[in-house]
Amino acid sequence: MFHKITISKMKKITGSVALILFVSLTVISQNKKLNVEEAVLGRWRQFYPEHLSGVHAYGENDFTHVKDYNEVILMNNSGKDVKVLIDLKQINEVLKSEGLNELKYFPYWNYKWIDTKQLAFNSDGNYYVYNIETNIINLKSIMPNGSEHNSPCVSNEMTAYTIKNNLYFVDSKGKEVAVTEDENPEIVNGNSYTHRQEFGIDNGIFWSTKGTYIAFYRKDETMVTDYPLVDITTRIAELKNTKYPMTGEKSEEVTLGIYNLLTGKTVFAKVNDFTSERYLTSITWGPEEKYIYIGVLNRGQDHLKLNKYDAATGKFIKTLFEETNKRYVEPEHQLIFTDGLTDQFIWYSERDGYNHLYLYNTEGKLIKQLTKGNWIVSDFLGFDANLKNFYITSTKESPVENHLYKVNFITGDIKKLTNEKGVHSVVPSNSKQYFFDSYSNQNEPNNNRIIDNKGKVVKDILKAKNPFVDYELGDMKTGTLKAADGKTDLYYRLITPPNFDPSKKYPVVVYVYGGPHAQLVTNSWLGGAGLWIYYMAQEGYIMFTLDNRGSANRGFEFESIIHRQCGQEEMKDQMKGIDFLKSLPYVDTERIGVHGWSYGGFMTTSLMINFPEIFKVGVAGGTVTDWKYYEVMYGERYMDTPDENPEGFEKTSLLDKADKLQGRLMMIHGYQDPVVVPQNSIDFIRSCIKEGTDIDFFLYPESEHNMRGHTRVHLMKKVTRYFDDYLK
């Protein structure tokens, strides 16, 4: 029997079904879960918060940004998009007409403005200067095959680069000129890997201000022992030696060449300080090209001399000042010369315990300390037009935040310009009257806005939506605990599973790094955590991280506590974190695991060995197992040499403690790792065999120190499965 249904009744039924369907879909969508691929690759892809890309200062007060990877947009200081200055199609038409490779997308990460008409960018290793008014490429430096470390000079429209171990440049007529012609491959010129990129060094080629000279590192490695890495991708595995000076062993000898483009001659800076195994850092050209400045650091890294040299002859002029410290001195910045400050420069130093700015003249007289306090200067952003104020970002507000400040050059008075909590990344306009401020905190994924030099918000441009609104990530909270010294605050992050039930007991994974120059817990989006950590919480683990003493952004005493005893104070602090976890009724204290990479791998293994009753499962990647196997620059800064510190090396070595390992430990290493060489893990395995201790091991045959892309997906699946098998 059929029933007659009226239109009005049909509408009611349809509406009810639609409502039920909507509610059902809402419930489903809010219960989405990450998979490992999304957790590893999605952080920088689909889950990266909305943002303006490629923001740069333009003109006096304006900015540009890159839209949809193909349009460079002029944005005025009111935060309004004014017009498209150039698009990908226009650039590609010109490149094509010149017989050059077209761009797949505009290189938003490396372009810069020379002036309001000329745009410079790199692509495929080549360097271009493009005039946006004439649509003409004013300069194109097309690099030959095999070139590396390309370094353009706008002042003379030339580009320097290396091929294998020698330095070259292309002159304004396109002719290649050889600066060096060393036939011995163990003598390397212009390489950015000099001193293994310690001391903030990421370049080995230094153009002078007007382009008259090229200064360059010359690294003599003939005395350094070869370390064997093995390439197994060939039919018969091939030896790939790399130069790797280990702590206490013979190190490289570095000099600084100065090539004069007018004469075609090279002189070398006459550095006579310390032994020949010193470090040359903070290479800086004076504004008039007459002098070049070098920070000369002894091999022990506890004595720095800032020296001045004559550029034409390489002659030593004078030592401007010296810095010493019983632990170490760590210069990581060039001198900062600013227009309007005649014969004066700004110098970064930790001499008072925190990274601050000092004003010197070029004769070495300290004029004054510019910033002071129990906080660090993160970045110097420059002066305003009348030299009345300068601008910095710093941790003055909180060690887990970064803010913009205006500092009066005369009085030192300081004013915070960013008032919203979080980590701020700032791009100043050329006039320093306006700032593009991008910030996030634990509750806000990303905010973009324009503020002025009084701290007034001119315009809120973008407020990013939560990219995880449909996902169950678990709850995250941060807080502080007292360090093992009983007085120092340490910051922690705790993430509990979705649908958390405080009456249940959950396994815990401690994610650790613990070493210098790294901070894992911040007041930024996701609390500074990677998505894999949230994935693990989603899978039923409590995830805990503590920044122990030894980690970054807390001042010299906090970070240098590790000196001559890596891992010792750090473990004491981590155990304070364990005490905190034990106090939580929902933590299963019989199921605590630990995971970390590099220094974190060293910490993971150290914790497993020293506290076997606490840590049941560990996964340690790229692990240092004995500091005698680590390289000179980093290893000796924090540990000195094995001869100078035998007790410290013995105490921190893991090789003679394999018998203390009780839980399940998996070590992972890249077979091509030139940073923490594979011998570290392999020798620890040998110790485990000798002691009859069980250990698991996995090798990535083609990987170096870090795994990337789909190899990293494989890695994190393996790490996850190990905890699922033995801890969950």
Active site residues: 598, 673, 705
Contact 392, 357 (CB under 8 A): yes
Contact 383, 362 (CB under 8 A): no
Q: In what order do the strands lie in the sheet with 506-511?
A: 475-482, 489-496, 542-546, 506-511, 587-597, 615-621, 664-670, 696-700
- Bridge partner residues of 405 (DSSP): 392, 416
Closest CA to 440 of 466, 415, 406: 466
User: How big is the chain, counted in residues?
Assistant: 728
Sorted by sequence, the CB contacts under 8 Å of residue 396 that are 6+ apart come out as 373, 375, 403, 405, 414, 416
* Placement of tokens 């079904």 in the chain: 17
- For 524, phi then psi, to 5°, come to -130, 175
Question: How far apart are alpha carbons 88 and 119 in whole angstroms?
Answer: 13
Q: Are strands 147-153 and 136-141 parallel, antiparallel or unpaired?
A: unpaired
Tokens describing residue 559 = 């970070």
CA-angle at 28, arms to 22 and 30, nearest 5°? 100
197: left (phi over 0), alpha (psi -120 to 50) or beta: left
* Placement of tokens 């973008």 in the chain: 462
Contact 298, 283 (CB under 8 A): no
Query: Which 3 state secondary structure label does DSSP give 328?
Result: coil
Closest CA to 441 of 332, 523, 552, 336: 523
Q: What is the dihedral of CA 543, 548, 554, 555, to 10 degrees?
A: -160
Question: How far apart are alpha carbons 516 and 89 in whole angstroms?
Answer: 45
Question: How far apart are alpha carbons 280 and 633 in whole angstroms?
Answer: 12
Q: Is the dihedral of CA 417, 549, 197, 125 positive or negative?
A: negative
Tokens describing residue 251 = 């190190």
Question: How far apart are alpha carbons 572 and 564 in whole angstroms?
Answer: 16
CA-angle at 333, arms to 550 and 316, nearest 5°? 125
Sorted by sequence, the CB contacts under 8 Å of residue 438 that are 6+ apart come out as 51, 52, 55, 424, 425, 426, 427, 446, 447, 448
CA-angle at 590, arms to 589 and 592, nearest 5°? 70
Question: How far apart are alpha carbons 287 and 208 in whole angstroms?
Answer: 8
